[in-house]
Amino acid sequence: MKKTGAELTGVKEIARRANVSIGTVDRVIHNRKGVSDETRQKIKLIIEELDFQPNKMASLLASRKILNFAVLIPAVSTETDYWSYPLNGIKQAATEIKQFGVTVKSYFYDLDSVESFKLSAEEMLKHEPHAVLIAPSFVEESITLAQKIQELDIPLAFINSDLPNQNNLTYIGPDLYQSGRLAAQLINFTIQQNDKVLAINISSDLKNDHHLLRKEHGFKKFFEDAGKPTEILTLNINETKVAAVEKALMEMLGNQPEIKAIFVTNSRVNIIAEILKKRKRDDILLIGYDFLKKNINYLVSGQITFLICQRPKEQGYLGIMALYKHLFKISEVEKSVYMPIDIITKENYQFYNS
Amino acid sequence: MKKTGAELTGVKEIARRANVSIGTVDRVIHNRKGVSDETRQKIKLIIEELDFQPNKMASLLASRKILNFAVLIPAVSTETDYWSYPLNGIKQAATEIKQFGVTVKSYFYDLDSVESFKLSAEEMLKHEPHAVLIAPSFVEESITLAQKIQELDIPLAFINSDLPNQNNLTYIGPDLYQSGRLAAQLINFTIQQNDKVLAINISSDLKNDHHLLRKEHGFKKFFEDAGKPTEILTLNINETKVAAVEKALMEMLGNQPEIKAIFVTNSRVNIIAEILKKRKRDDILLIGYDFLKKNINYLVSGQITFLICQRPKEQGYLGIMALYKHLFKISEVEKSVYMPIDIITKENYQFYNS
DNA sequence: CTGAAAGCGCTTACAG
DNA sequence: CTGAAAGCGCTTACAG
């Protein structure tokens, strides 16, 4: 249970072999200046020979580093508890790395308010974080922020959605196109000849919500590739109130009685479920996104058949851990990490832990 | 970036307040004897007041502990690469906790040989591990082993399958009954009135393979609960050679032309896929278990529609981490951790990372 | 450019 | 029962 403490190891042994002090060895290990080329080379050689790996714990202990991570994500709203899941993952990671002197502070913004994003971002930067994790919901403002962060030369991780060319350390989140394809595949199993399929985008600002469009694209592409004549209709609803959605939906269903399956491109699938339930349209298969309490309720009651999920908790967890692994040089961090695309049904939701 | 080093903290501050040496404080923290009740109480009070949490890194560094974990799992065979996934998870965990002085050594056994299990178990115990992770494939022998391990008073984790009442620290694996139900639900979406469904158990020793029976049970229970008149047939095949399986399967399909879906209760679903492909029976929906290369190939080619997976990599990873968290007192460990039941299709397999 | 010393927050013998 | 000292493997000023 104890290490054998016979011969020297680590910096001491290197120092002994190189005939220098451990201070000099330390300088070489961390590529600090103030060492002659000659000694530097000699020490580097010995380090290689010994395949020396500094003891992280000793290093952390001696350096007394304190690292503050900042997180900028949407607040949990009354409308959706989606963001509670990434937040839980972030908290879990925070607990695990607390012992290494890392603190994680979260800043929140309102998904309906660009202004709140800017304010929270500003507040966050004021605290001079050593690493930042953000969910870049507002594209333009997020790019501005990402550039500020880059100027400060601190690592940046994106979760939930990506922004191209932002020099971010990593992106952890879904592949939207492919999740749309998967939804199509699931629907394709159940429909008959001549059935029609409806894709619904519910968003107050669809033009900027390229998310939904990428899912819709994957969805339609699947049927194209399948070479089936299934007719895919699309309904864009730019209001989120039930009454407005109901009007648009019922009009569509009235005109197209052959619709037998509906794909909602985001977590607002519960609105459609509510309407279908009220209208007693149990004949329509419904599929949508995200492990929200409201959605799960309709899954259990049978109104929703499939939910597609992208491990929101894990996104938060992995985002923080990526920053940690990078700053503590524990391992290389991948530029993009695409989450598995999970299928949740009435029969497996109880074991889905995020 | 630096901690403020003004006032004393940790053991020193406790010692100062209690007017004792840090040695005595240490004795109290670790509940060692040799401290008068009076001083012990005094120190405990101060510890509570300060909400003192010992610095893990300093503690690890000073104690110079070396912990050897042992792992006993089936070897990766030519027939299936299933066990390469838990092994990868184990290796990943090993890499992460290496810096805390933990080594992980794996021992393997042949799934077709009880003898090899016993031998490997013996070999493992000879090395006096401080914690053990096992996949208890052979029930009786595993119980014997679990009892030996208990006598040695070292923590034990099970993965992949559970054994009741073994005083193990934790179990991490699937809920078999529920995964059978999920398979039934998926099939239920696609079948028509009057279609029949076939469940196939392929095992050379089905009586002892209670795994398969629990999945079959869940599978059948789903249809019962659904109150549908769907007829579920069962085929037990106690040979694993393709020729033997083919004979049994074709006889069944010949007698029951209404069979439109097949559920294979384990990873040998690729054998059935091979036969269906050869016989050009694309009309039958096939569903089975595990993310094996062979199975994925048939998923891509369309012969298999769904694979049910239980995160084998994560099981290995979490198993090791549970032992680590327990021994290092990082957090409490749950007695049972049931893995999510994942559904893998042609459209999402590429993002499934275990 | 280099070394010697102090220190990180603990644990471990050892001495009394 | 208790304390003083040495040490874990590093880093950090400081002195030269």
pLDDT of A261 reads 97
Under 8 Å between Cβ of B50 and B5: no
Are both B194 and B285 inside the same structural domain? yes
Are both A304 and A181 inside the same structural domain? yes
Helix axis angle for A210-226 and A176-190, nearest 10°, is: 50
- Give strand letter and number of the nucleotide nearest A63 (CA to C1'): D11
In angstroms, the CA of B246 and the C1' of D9 are apart by 64
Residue A207 has pLDDT above 80, yes or no: no
Residue A48 contacts by C-beta under 8 Å, 6 or more apart in sequence?
none
Point out the domain boundary residue: A42, A60, A78.
Answer: A60
pLDDT of A173 reads 94
Q: What is the mean pLDDT of chain A?
A: 91
**CATH number of the domain to which B30 belongs:** 1.10.260.40
Of B2, B343, B347, the CB nearest to A178: B347
State the pLDDT confidence band at B3, using cuts at 50, 70 and 90.
Answer: very low
Are both B49 and B90 inside the same structural domain? no
Alpha carbon distances (Å) from A50 to A6, A7, A38: 16, 13, 19
Q: Give the mean pLDDT of A181-189.
A: 95
Under 8 Å between Cβ of A286 and A276: yes
Is A350 contained in some domain?
no
Distance (Å) from the C-alpha of residue B108 to the closest C-alpha of chain A?
24
Are both A211 and A269 inside the same structural domain? yes
pLDDT of A2 reads 42
Query: How many CB pairs lie under 8 A apart between chains A and B?
Result: 114
Long-range contacts of B191-196 (CB under 8 A, 24+ apart): B191/B230, B191/B260, B191/B261, B191/B285, B192/B260, B194/B258, B195/B230, B195/B258, B195/B259, B195/B260, B195/B261, B196/B230, B196/B231, B196/B232, B196/B233, B196/B256, B196/B258, B196/B259, B196/B260
Is A349 contained in some domain?
no
| C-beta atoms of A175 and B351 within 8 A | yes
| C-beta atoms of B341 and A351 within 8 A | yes
Burial of A44 (0-12, 13-18, 19+ CB in 10 A): middle
State the pLDDT confidence band at B95, using cuts at 50, 70 and 90.
Answer: confident
Is B345 contained in some domain?
no
Question: How far apart (Å, rounded) are the C-alpha atoms in residues A11 and A9?
Answer: 7
Question: How far apart (Å, rounded) are the C-alpha atoms in residues A120 and A296?
Answer: 31
Instruction: Look at A238-242, B184-188, B197-201 and tell me which has the smallest mean pLDDT.
Output: A238-242
pLDDT of B354 reads 66
- pLDDT single digits (tens) B318-345: 999 999 988 877 778 899 999 999 999 9
Question: How far apart (Å, rounded) are the C-alpha atoms in residues A346 and A321?
Answer: 32
| C-beta atoms of B345 and A185 within 8 A | yes
State the pLDDT confidence band at B5, using cuts at 50, 70 and 90.
Answer: very low
Of A222, A340, A350, the CB nearest to B353: A340
Are both B242 and B181 inside the same structural domain? yes
| C-beta atoms of B55 and A61 within 8 A | yes
Burial of A59 (0-12, 13-18, 19+ CB in 10 A): middle
| C-beta atoms of A348 and B343 within 8 A | yes
pLDDT of A310 reads 92
Alpha carbon distances (Å) from A198 to A22, A185, A261, A277: 70, 14, 6, 17
Q: Give the mean pLDDT of A102-116.
A: 93
Q: In what order do the strands lie in the sheet with B67-74?
A: B102-109, B67-74, B131-134, B156-159, B170-173, B336-338
Closest protein residue to C13 (Cα–C1'): B23
- pLDDT single digits (tens) A192-202: 888 999 999 99
Residue B193 has pLDDT above 90, yes or no: no
Are both B254 and B318 inside the same structural domain? no
| C-beta atoms of A347 and B222 within 8 A | yes
What percent of chain B is modeled with pLDDT above 70?
Answer: 97
Residue A233 has pLDDT above 70, yes or no: yes
Are both A71 and A153 inside the same structural domain? yes
**CATH number of the domain to which A195 belongs:** 3.40.50.2300
Distance (Å) from the C-alpha of residue A66 to the closest C-alpha of chain B?
5
pLDDT of A1 reads 45
Question: How far apart (Å, rounded) are the C-alpha atoms in residues B306 and B290?
Answer: 10
Q: Give the mean pLDDT of B87-102.
A: 89
Is A285 contained in some domain?
yes
Tell me how far the alpha carbon of residue B137 is from its chain's centroid: 12
Long-range contacts of A242-249 (CB under 8 A, 24+ apart): A242/A271, A242/A274, A242/A275, A245/A202, A245/A271, A245/A272, A245/A275, A246/A275, A249/A200, A249/A275
Q: First and final CA of chain B: distance in angstroms? A: 38
Q: Specify which residues B288 forms β-bridges with.
A: B307
* Strand C nucleotides within a 7 Å radius of protein CB atoms: 1-5, 7-14
- pLDDT single digits (tens) B248-289: 999 999 999 999 999 999 999 999 999 999 999 999 999 999
Question: Which alpha helices (DSSP H) does A152-268 contain, by range?
Answer: 176-190, 210-226, 242-255
State how many domains chain B has.
3
Question: How far apart (Å, rounded) are the C-alpha atoms in residues A75 and A103?
Answer: 20
Residue A354 has pLDDT above 80, yes or no: no
Residue B35 has pLDDT above 60, yes or no: yes
Distance (Å) from the C-alpha of residue A185 to the closest C-alpha of chain B?
7
pLDDT of A106 reads 97
* Strand D nucleotides within a 7 Å radius of protein CB atoms: 1-5, 7-14
State the pLDDT confidence band at A7, using cuts at 50, 70 and 90.
Answer: low
- pLDDT single digits (tens) B136-189: 988 899 999 999 999 988 999 999 989 888 999 999 999 999 999 999 999 998
Of A1, A340, A345, the CB nearest to B351: A340
Are both A167 and A186 inside the same structural domain? no
Are both A316 and A168 inside the same structural domain? yes
Residue A145 has pLDDT above 80, yes or no: yes
pLDDT of A193 reads 84
Question: Which alpha helices (DSSP H) does A209-338 contain, by range?
Answer: 210-226, 242-255, 269-278, 293-301, 312-327
- Give strand letter and number of the nucleotide nearest A39 (CA to C1'): C1
In angstroms, the CA of A64 and the C1' of D10 are apart by 11
Under 8 Å between Cβ of A352 and B340: yes
> Tokens 């790996």 label which residue?
A53
| C-beta atoms of A189 and B66 within 8 A | no
Under 8 Å between Cβ of A18 and A25: yes
Instruction: Look at A52-61, A123-132, B240-249 and tell me which has the smallest mean pLDDT.
Output: A52-61
- Give strand letter and number of the nucleotide nearest B27 (CA to C1'): C11
Is B354 contained in some domain?
no
Q: Give the mean pLDDT of A334-341.
A: 93
Are both B132 and B224 inside the same structural domain? no
Distance (Å) from the C-alpha of residue B74 to the closest C-alpha of chain A?
26
Is A167 contained in some domain?
yes
Are both B132 and B180 inside the same structural domain? no
User: What residues in A contact B350, CB-CB < 8 Å?
Assistant: 178
State the pLDDT confidence band at A307, using cuts at 50, 70 and 90.
Answer: very high
pLDDT of B4 reads 44
Name the residue range of residue B219's domain: 176-309
Instruction: Give the containing element (helix H, strand E) for B162.
Output: none
- pLDDT single digits (tens) A20-66: 999 999 999 888 888 888 899 999 999 998 888 888 888 888 887 78
Is A352 contained in some domain?
no
What percent of chain A is modeled with pLDDT above 70?
Answer: 97
Closest protein residue to D13 (Cα–C1'): A23
Residue A5 has pLDDT above 70, yes or no: no
Q: What is the mean pLDDT of chain B?
A: 91
Are both B291 and B204 inside the same structural domain? yes
